[in-house]
């Protein structure tokens, strides 16, 4: 049985915690897209970890963690992360890396930084992990696939060709030092040494695992609104964040994905530039940011303060629809316990008309939030295990949002730990 855990919003919904929790019943956890540009924060018995590359399953000794072909594979980061968790006492994880994954090169990171510098104030707010240049090269067919590390003749020819092409931009657009083919070759040889023990024909491995009835979890990064096709283009990421892409980025048939657990946070947060209709500012935002998540809403990778906002039913309904949510996991609800009243964005006013359908970007930029204010519950709900035991106003908040988004909230997360979860039978 294959399940996916994906985000309904802008990322940082708490997918790491849900994946970690579901990892208990999983044999295999697969990352299928994205790179080291986002992070999951996971709190468990070993401590608190920010993972950027490793799947969240690495903390269980019964799971195999897979880096699928759809991932932007940052080999030194991956190995740094393996080392860092082993140092904290986690048993060495079983890891497989797809022979069809492509490699983030050091020049991808340089190009990312140079482009941000060139765009200055008009930049996209990239984390400079090389993700956009990496995926551009993949689709321009000038990327390095893991399998190519084992074809020396090909590599020797290719490094010359790549350096020639990249150097045109480095010299004339960015005015930066040029690439040397020998350095590229040496870099690739370093990566080969690191990755060799883990390389695997992942789609075949998963094909056999599905036949054997194994439980497989696909772990998404970021959320629907960062999808390059269906998100807030161009303020999006460079690989698809949708569960449907899990089939491609892992190499399995789409009909095998039976459950799509779409994670929705009880309020909104976003990083980087782009329209954010229910955004709040000033003291109100500072307070929510400070109390948010587990120790504040600051980027797991960059430490940047996240932009904060009230729950957005329009964006979340759309986010769930694009994921094809079979279940919604509603997270970080405990954080809202301090509020007397909680505004919820129920519509967008665009050119004088109110809509509940998420618009394309140029209209999104004109959208003004329409709020409904719900009463708060003014109580700490951490530790509650049964839905009926939640305060009435808290249940009303959940049920109101469920009705607005139109997808079943089957899990409510009321704390950062693995066991802070309330299941609802729907």
Catalytic residue numbers, as ranges:
12, 40
CA distance 396 to 398: 5
- Please say whether the beta carbons of 50 and 301 come within 8 A: yes
- Please say whether the beta carbons of 193 and 214 come within 8 A: no
- Residue owning tokens 């932007």: 72
Q: Shortest gap between Cβ of 368 and ligand GDP (angstroms)?
A: 27
Q: Nearest-5° angle of CA 155, CA 157, CA 160?
A: 105
Q: Which is nearer to ligand GDP, 99 or 334 (CB)?
A: 334
Q: Which is nearer to ligand GDP, 43 or 315 (CB)?
A: 43
DSSP letters along 271-297, please? Answer: -SSS--TTEE-HHHHHHHHHHSTTT-S
Q: Which is nearer to ligand GDP, 87 or 419 (CB)?
A: 419
Q: Where are the alpha helices (DSSP H) in 292-364?
A: 313-323, 361-364
DSSP letters along 44-71, please? Answer: ETTEEEEESSS-GGGG-TT-EEEE-TTS
Q: Shortest gap between Cβ of 126 and ligand GDP (angstroms)?
A: 17
Q: Which is nearer to ligand GDP, 151 or 380 (CB)?
A: 380
Tokens of 347: 């519509």
Q: Which of 346, 352, 397 is nearest to 372 (CA)?
A: 346
Other CB atoms within 10 Å distance of the CB of residue 47: 12
Contact positions vs ligand GDP (CB under 6 A): 7, 11-17, 38, 40-41, 43, 293-294, 300, 331-332, 334-335, 413-416, 420
Q: Shortest gap between Cβ of 334 and ligand GDP (angstroms)?
A: 5
Q: Which is nearer to ligand GDP, 130 or 220 (CB)?
A: 220
Q: Shortest gap between Cβ of 394 and ligand GDP (angstroms)?
A: 13
The single-letter DSSP state of residue 309 is E
| Residue 241 falls in which region: left (phi positive, over 0), alpha (psi -120 to 50) or beta | alpha
Q: Which of 233, 240, 243, 311 is nearest to 272 (CA)?
A: 233
Q: Shortest gap between Cβ of 329 and ligand GDP (angstroms)?
A: 9
Q: Which is nearer to ligand GDP, 2 or 38 (CB)?
A: 38
Q: Shortest gap between Cβ of 331 and ligand GDP (angstroms)?
A: 4
């Amino acid at each position: 049985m294959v399940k996916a855990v994906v985000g309904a919003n802008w990322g940082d919904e708490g997918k790491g915690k849900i994946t970690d929790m579901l990892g208990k019943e999983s044999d295999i956890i697969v990352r299928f897209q994205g790179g080291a540009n986002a992070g999951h924060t996971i709190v468990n018995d070993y401590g608190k970890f920010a993972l950027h590359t490793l799947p969240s399953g690495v903390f269980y000794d019964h799971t195999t963690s897979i880096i699928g072909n759809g991932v932007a594979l940052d080999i030194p980061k991956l190995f740094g992360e393996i080392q860092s968790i082993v140092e904290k006492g986690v048993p060495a994880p079983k890891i497989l890396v797809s022979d069809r994954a492509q490699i983030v090169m050091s020049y991808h990171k340089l190009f990312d930084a140079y482009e941000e510098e060139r765009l200055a104030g008009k930049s996209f707010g990239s984390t400079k992990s090389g993700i956009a240049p990496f995926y551009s090269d993949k689709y321009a067919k000038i990327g390095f696939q893991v399998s190519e590390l084992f074809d020396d003749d090909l590599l020797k020819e290719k490094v010359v060709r790549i350096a020639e092409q990249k150097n045109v931009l480095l010299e004339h657009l960015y005015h930066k030092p040029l690439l040397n083919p020998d350095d590229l070759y040496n870099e690739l040889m370093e990566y080969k040494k690191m990755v060799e023990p883990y390389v695997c024909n992942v789609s075949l491995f998963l094909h056999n695992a599905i036949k054997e009835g194994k439980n497989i979890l696909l772990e998404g990064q970021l959320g629907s609104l960062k999808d390059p096709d269906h998100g807030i283009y161009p303020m999006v990421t460079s690989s698809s964040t949708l569960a449907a892409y899990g089939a491609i980025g892992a190499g399995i048939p789409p009909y095998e994905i039976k459950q799509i657990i779409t994670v929705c946070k009880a309020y909104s947060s976003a990083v980087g530039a782009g329209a954010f209709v229910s955004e709040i500012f000033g003291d109100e935002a500072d307070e929510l940011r400070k109390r948010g998540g587990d120790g504040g809403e600051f980027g797991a990778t960059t430490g940047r303060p996240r932009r904060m906002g009230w729950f957005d039913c329009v964006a979340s309904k759309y986010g769930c629809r694009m994921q094809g949510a079979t279940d919604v996991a509603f997270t970080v609800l405990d954080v809202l316990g301090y509020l007397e009243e909680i505004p919820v964005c129920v519509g967008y006013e665009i050119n004088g008309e109110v809509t509940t359908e998420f618009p394309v970007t140029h209209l999104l930029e004109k959208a003004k939030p329409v709020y409904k204010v719900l009463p708060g519950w003014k109580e700490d709900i951490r530790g509650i295990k049964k839905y009926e035991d939640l305060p009435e106003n808290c249940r009303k908040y959940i049920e109101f949002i469920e009705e607005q988004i139109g997808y079943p909230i089957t899990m409510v997360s009321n704390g950062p730990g693995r066991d802070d979860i309330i299941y609802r039978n729907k």
